[in-house]
Structure 1
Amino acid sequence: MDYTEIARSAADKLLSYRRDPSGWKQCKKSGKVAVYWRPSSEFTGSLYKGEGIVPGKPVDVWQCLKPEPGGLRVKWDSNVDDFQLLETVTEDISICRTVTPSAAMGIIAPRDFVDVVLIKSYEDGSIASNATNVEHQSCPPQQHFVRGFNHSCGCFCVPVPGEPEKTQVLSFFQTDLSGYLPKSVVESFFPYSMAQFYNNLAKAVKELNI
């Protein structure tokens, strides 16, 4: 399996999602955060996009978002119970396992996801985490967890021109949770959890600077 090629392909897809304004329908608005959706081109579910301005310098926001074992993400993100490094492929590409807790009042059981993750910087000063599902010999499906599958997903930290103390965060999620879940549960879970993601991220960045 060519992890590098898979990771770069996911990054290309995320960049295309960022640049393509067509087809998005707003499904949630919470304060300065908006969540949109459109049908996914990668699986039978939906692609979700979150947009929000987070008070904080891009370097601080990225520190909170950066996917790394023992990092801050596990501490503030209520949808992440554990984050494990399975393999370092290159300096900016790794294979990781993410464990998520039960959700939606227990209707959604704990899940785990195995992804290749690429960290990439762009000329406009943005930095992004890009991920998609892969298989890894060290981590077959495990008892007590439903194996879910992330399709091209990730977050962009984008500097706001003239506002060095603010960061635009663009998030993209298109996740096959697997299992036997009512469509209505999935469709209500993602917009709600993405809005909470921004609220919790803003609190984490604020605490970082106290």
Structure 2
Amino acid sequence: MEYEDKARFASERLLGYTKDPSGWKVCKKSNDVVVSWRPSQEYPGNVYKGEALVNGGLLKVWECLKPIPNGLRVKWDSNVKKFELLQQITEDVSVCRTVTPSAAMGIISPRDFVDVIVVKKYEDGTVSSNATNVLHSSCPPQPGFIRGFNHPCGCVCVPAEPNKTQVFTVFQTDLGGLLPRSVVESFFPSSMVEFYSHLTKAVKSLKDF
């Protein structure tokens, strides 16, 4: 039940971040992507929110984003090297391990993250993937990786005008290690703009369905 409670907490937090306009400061804009930040209430760092209107219906966009092993995201998202299912709790709740490659010209070493993830579907058609860090007995810290910790984060896909989807992304990640704050604060906004660029290309490459 602890995993389900944590998943529910993450989904409530994520929905709040996307709907609460207060306190956000824009830190990067590129084309139709806006990235904002504000101090996190979860840990001594920032929470970053990205927002963009993506060309493509919600089903196609969600196909690229849904958190499943052997899914499309590992193929197009340069920040996700591996995605493993550790335990299926319920149909919509799972515990997973995500591996990220080195980044920022090697300044950021490979990381791994263990999260409980819940998929939520809402009456207006909105679909979200919500995650937060947990411990799991099958996955202690691994040699060669710095264990990072995701605080409530994820993606929210909202149906918009025909064949377009409003996509919100929220990241508040303790990368662990001894990274300078300036490196972290420059990495996330740029990485999020790149995320939308790659997502748009991935959606465009999918056949209609």
Mapped partners of 2:129, 2:121: distance in 1: 9
Unaligned runs of 5+ in 2: none
**How far does residue 207 in structure 1 lie from its aligned partner after superposition?**
0.5
TM-score, length of structure 2 as denominator length:
0.98
Q: Deviations over 1:26-64 (max 9, x none)?
A: 000010000000000000000000000110010000000
Write the letter of the residue equivalent to 1:47. Answer: V
Runs of 4+ in 1 over 2 A off after TM superposition: none
Mapped partners of 1:94, 1:173: distance in 2: 19
Map 1:120-131; keep pairs closer than 5 Å: 120-131=120-131
**How far does residue 209 in structure 1 lie from its aligned partner after superposition?**
2.6
Residue equivalent to 2:12: 12
Structure 2 residue aligned with 1:170, among 152, 168, 171? 168
Mapped partners of 1:20, 1:124: distance in 2: 18
Mapped partners of 2:58, 2:68: distance in 1: 17
Map 1:30-179; keep pairs closer than 5 Å: 30-160=30-160, 163-179=161-177
Q: How many matched pairs?
A: 208
Mapped partners of 2:10, 2:178: distance in 1: 27
Mapped partners of 1:11, 1:32: distance in 2: 25
Unaligned runs of 5+ in 1: none
TM-score, length of structure 1 as denominator length:
0.98
Residue equivalent to 1:203: 201
**Do residues 190 (structure 1) and 170 (structure 2) align?**
no
Q: Deviations over 1:89-118 (max 9, x none)?
A: 000000000000000000000000000000
**How far does residue 186 in structure 1 lie from its aligned partner after superposition?**
0.2
Mapped partners of 2:138, 2:169: distance in 1: 29
